[in-house]
Structures are given as C-alpha cells and as structure tokens.
C-alpha cells in the first residue's frame, strides 16, 4: 500500500448536515417535507442526481432549466454555510490519523464527488494533509464509477492496486472496488458490508489497524 484516498463528506468532515439544510430549504419552498432519513439517499450522490431524488420524493416535475436554477439556488445556500466552517468541524480522530500517515511517508489524496471540495479543505485547514485532490470538478462520471479514485491515483503517480480508499457511502465502496482498490467503510457494517473493513469513525484508528 503506497497511498490512501479519502472521500470528504462524511469521512473527514460532516458537511451532510449543511447539504440537508440547503436541500430542505428548497423542499420547503416547493411545499413538501424532506426528512433527515430522506437525506441519507443523497450521500455521495452528485448534485444533479441529488436534486432528481429530492424531486421524486416530493412528486415534483421540473423542466431542465428550472432544475439548473434550483440546483444553483441550493448550492448558493450550501456555500454560505460551508464558508463559515472551522477546523472544529473536522470529524473526531481524523487529524491524528492524517498526521501519522504523513509522518509515515504515505501519499494521500481526496476523492470526492463535491465541486465544493476546495472551499471545505481551505475552511477546515485540511488542505495541508493532501498531496492531491480529485473532486467533482475533474470528473464526469459519479460513484460507483471509479473515475474520481482513478484520477486520485493518477495525480499521486501510483497504481490503483496500491491505494486504499476510505468511504462512508455504499456507492463509494463500489467505486473503490471498480477502481481495483480496497475500501475501508466509515460507518455501519449494515450499509458498508462490501468494504474489506468497516470502522465506526477514526477515533483511536492507527495505521497498524489497516489489515486486510
Ligand atoms: P456538491 P463526497 C458528495 O461528497 C456528498 O456526499 C453528496 O451529498 C453531494 O451531493 C456531492 O458530494 C456533490 O456535492 O454539490 O458540493 O458538488 O461524499 O463524495 O465527498
Ligand atoms: Mg461521502
């Protein structure tokens, strides 16, 4: 193993709550209920696909132009929230693990669907831990397609088989496998059962626990 590739939302930071608030504001405006349970379906999914799922939940039909406008409105509100993020919002245990990884000389990349990745990395101070960033601005195919993880490996100059991915979404674990990489699931074994290893979070997690 030469490199570790990290998903962003749900693995390093909890930006899902801001996605939820921004999508909920749109649902409120359109006049239907959107719950936190519904929001689970949007994790790891691209912005446009998320909007389509939201509209399906509300039983709302929209033209393509109206969808573009709604996605932009949601993103503007979401960015206003993440623009206020601080390093306190890095998930527990993450920074200790990243420090150990860097000290061990292992390469690191971000592999995220989010087009807002640079703003989040900058606001939280996480940028300094990563040698490369592959995000939603660089790929055209969403997870479970392996494109974003293959891009991460390419930017790092390593083979996909030398990478391990950390993911909180089922589609992300599948994307890692489709890239020929192993996956560590962050969250529940019920949803992430296909990963080679599942941990609840990074608290107390160390490199020597990475065993496959
Ligand atoms: P944006 P990840 C994903 O990030 C989120 O989990 C997902 O909920 C979001 O819709 C997607 O990014 C796109 O985000 O609207 O900011 O481009 O989990 O792949 O880091
Ligand atoms: Mg995620």
pLDDT at 212: 75
Would the CB of 115 count as within 6 Å of ligand 1?
yes
pLDDT at 3: 98
pLDDT at 168: 94
pLDDT at 181: 98
CA torsion sign for 185, 12, 118, 208 is: negative
Other Cβ atoms within 10 Å of 74 Cβ, number: 21
* Separation CA 90–CA 122 (nearest Å): 12
pLDDT at 57: 98
Would the CB of 117 count as within 6 Å of ligand 1?
no
pLDDT digits (tens, 9 = 90+) for 36-93: 999 988 988 899 999 999 999 999 999 999 999 999 999 999 999 999 999 999 999 9
Report residue 145 as tokens: 């397609």
CA distances from 172 to 20, 78, 86 (A): 19, 22, 26
Say if domain 3-14+88-209 classifies as CATH 3.30.390.50: no
7 catalytic per annotation: yes
Atom from ligand 1 closest to the CA of residue 115: 17
Other Cβ atoms within 10 Å of 165 Cβ, number: 31
Atom from ligand 1 closest to the CA of residue 110: 20
Residue 145 is classified by DSSP as S
Find the 202 Cα to ligand 2 centroid distance in Å: 14
Q: Which residues of the chain have pLDDT under 50?
A: none
Other Cβ atoms within 10 Å of 68 Cβ, number: 13
pLDDT at 211: 79
Find the 89 Cα to ligand 2 centroid distance in Å: 15
All structural domains of the chain with their residue ranges: 3-14+88-209, 16-82
Domains 3-14+88-209 and 16-82 equal at CATH topology level: no
Architecture of domain 16-82: Orthogonal Bundle (1.10)
Would the CB of 108 count as within 6 Å of ligand 1?
no
pLDDT at 44: 84
pLDDT at 139: 95
pLDDT at 102: 97
């Amino acid at each position: 193993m030469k490199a570790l590739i990290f998903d962003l939302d749900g693995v390093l930071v909890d930006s899902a709550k801001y996605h939820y608030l921004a999508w909920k504001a749109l649902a409120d405006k359109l006049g239907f209920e959107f719950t936190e349970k519904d929001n689970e379906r949007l994790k790891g999914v691209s912005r446009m696909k998320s909007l389509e799922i939201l509209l399906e939940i509300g039983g709302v039909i929209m033209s393509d132009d109206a969808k573009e406008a709604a996605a932009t409105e949601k993103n503007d509100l979401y960015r206003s929230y993440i623009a206020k993020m601080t390093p306190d919002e890095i998930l527990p245990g993450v920074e200790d693990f990243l420090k150990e990884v860097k000290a061990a000389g292992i390469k690191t990349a971000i592999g995220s669907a989010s087009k807002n990745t640079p703003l989040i990395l900058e606001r939280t101070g996480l940028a300094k831990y990563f040698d490369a960033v592959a995000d939603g601005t660089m790929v055209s195919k969403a997870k479970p397609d392996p494109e974003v993880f293959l891009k991460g490996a390419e930017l790092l100059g390593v083979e996909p088989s030398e990478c391990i991915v950390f993911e909180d979404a089922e589609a992300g674990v599948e994307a890692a496998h489709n890239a020929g990489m192993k996956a560590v699931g962050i969250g529940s074994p019920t949803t992430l059962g296909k990963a080679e290893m599942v941990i609840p979070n990074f608290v107390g997690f160390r490199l020597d626990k990475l065993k496959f």
